[in-house]
Each structure stands twice: as C-alpha cells, then as structure tokens.
C-alpha cells in the first residue's frame, strides 16, 4: 500500500509509515519459489556491477541506504561484508557520523568498516545515480552521477582510490531503503536498479 507509481517520474515511490523507525525497503525476492535470485549468486569474486537512480523527497528526519549488503539493515555493524551508499540526517537510531549532510560510502571487509565521506551534499528532489564496481581483485570503485569518488578514507587521490579487497566468495544482495526518523512519513523515488556479473562458476 505504501509503494506506488509516482506519475511525474520513472520508477516507483516508496513511502514509510508514520512512526519513528518505520522503513520501506526494495530488494529481490529471496524465496527460491518466487525467483531464481537465490540460485544465481552475486559473489564478490564475480566482478559484480550494481547501479541505481534515486531521489529523496526531503532530507530531514531520515536514513537512506543503497547498495550491496547481506541483510536489509541500514546500520554498518550488522553486516560483516558489504558495500553501500548511506545518508543520515541525524545520529538517532543510526550511524555516528562527523556531519549529516553528505552521501557516505560504507564498505566492510570481515567486520572491518571503512566509512568515507564522498563530499557530495544530499539535496531533495535531486537525482543521484550510484554505481559500485567490484573488479577482478575484488576491489571496489564507486561513482555518483558518473563521477568517480574515493572508496576509502586513506585515499591519496581523492577521485580514484579503490576500496580494499572484499572478502572472497561473499554473495551480496542489492538493497535500497529509507527509514523515517520522526513521527512522519518519508519518501524515496527509485527510478531503477540493475546488477550484472561475469558469467563463470
């Protein structure tokens, strides 16, 4: 009932319910009786490429996450291995951040978390095209609106530094979600999401 076609743009409009911490999350069917997703795996060794296009209706009282995880939780400490974009308007029920205006990139490798401020300020009604590319060495490259950004805080070149090698043979799942941070509904437009991989194994 809370996912509709927006009419004014492509894709779907996901809207949370009105209580604090209510969420709306987009993911593939994980039940093997509903789709082939759990049989066609998307491992870190498969040179996975994931992308999406989204925009936020507003930027207050919310958490937004999009990328490759093991569970649908927005908090980085939940999954030991993951790579995703993250925005939080505040620290309530979320990750403690140094500032609450930009898109972050969070990568975890065997429980070690790498948190990178991309420097891209989040704005309402603005389209964001995210892309994560995992290469043959399992290292991540990240892009926002076609521009490459560092995937690690230890970057020597702030625009091209790849993230550390992901753990081998971890099967990731694409999630896009929004969580309300107060007693009001929050909305996220998802124009599309896509994933591909090298065909082997």
**Whole-structure pTM value:** 0.94
29's CB contacts (< 8 A; 6+ apart) are 35, 37
Report how far residue 16's alpha carbon sits from residue 100's, in angstroms, rounded to the nearest whole number.
Answer: 21
Structure tokens at 172: 């990731």
Q: 41 or 175: whose pLDDT is higher?
A: 175
The pLDDT, as a whole number, for residue 158 is 55
Over residues 124-171, the pLDDT tens digits come to: 999 999 999 999 999 999 999 999 998 886 544 456 689 999 999 999
Residue 201 has pLDDT above 60, yes or no: yes
Sign of the torsion formed by the C-alpha atoms of 94, 98, 101 and 103: negative
In this predicted model, what pLDDT tens digit does every residue of 92-132 receive, in sequence order?
877 778 899 999 999 999 999 999 999 999 999 999 999 99
pLDDT at position 159, please?
A: 61
What share of the chain has pLDDT > 90, as a percent?
A: 77
Cβ-contact 159, 150 below 8 angstroms: yes
Output the pLDDT for position 39.
82
Alpha-carbon Rg for the chain, nearest whole angstrom, is 16
pLDDT for the residue 10: 93
pLDDT at res. 34: 86
DSSP-derived pairing of the beta strands 173-180 and 62-69: antiparallel
List Cβ neighbours of 78 (8 Å cut-off, separation of 6 or more): 70, 71
Q: Residue 191's pLDDT band (boundaries 50, 70, 90)? A: very high
pLDDT of 185 > 80? The answer is yes
Buried b (16+ CB within 10 A) or exposed e, 76-111: beebebbbbbbbbbeeeebbebeeeebbbbbbbbee
Confidence (pLDDT) at 154: 52
Give SS3 for 77.
helix
Question: If you search the block for the tokens 């030991």, which residue do you land on?
Answer: 80
Cβ atoms 163, 142 nearer than 8 A? yes
Q: Rounded distance, CA 151 to CA 113, Å?
A: 12
Which two three-digit tokens encode residue 54?
A: 């989204």
pLDDT, averaged across the chain? 92
């Amino acid at each position: 009932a809370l996912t509709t076609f927006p009419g004014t743009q492509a894709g779907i409009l996901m809207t949370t319910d009105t209580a604090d911490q209510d969420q709306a999350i987009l993911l593939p069917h994980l039940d093997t009786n509903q789709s082939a997703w759990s049989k066609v795996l998307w491992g870190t060794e498969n040179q996975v490429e994931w992308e999406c296009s989204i925009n936020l209706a507003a930027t207050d009282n919310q958490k937004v996450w999009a990328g490759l995880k093991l569970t649908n939780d927005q908090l980085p400490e939940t999954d030991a291995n993951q790579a995703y974009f993250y925005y939080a308007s505040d620290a309530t029920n979320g990750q403690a951040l140094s500032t609450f205006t930009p898109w972050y990139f969070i990568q975890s490798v065997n429980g070690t978390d790498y948190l990178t401020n991309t420097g891209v300020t989040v704005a309402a009604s603005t389209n964001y095209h995210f892309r994560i590319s995992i290469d043959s060495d399992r290292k991540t490259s990240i892009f926002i609106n076609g521009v490459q950004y560092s995937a690690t805080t230890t970057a020597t070149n702030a625009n091209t530094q790849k993230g550390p090698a992901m753990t081998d043979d971890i099967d990731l799942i694409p999630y896009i979600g929004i969580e309300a941070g107060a007693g009001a509904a929050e909305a996220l437009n998802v124009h599309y999401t896509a994933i591909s991989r090298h065909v082997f194994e």
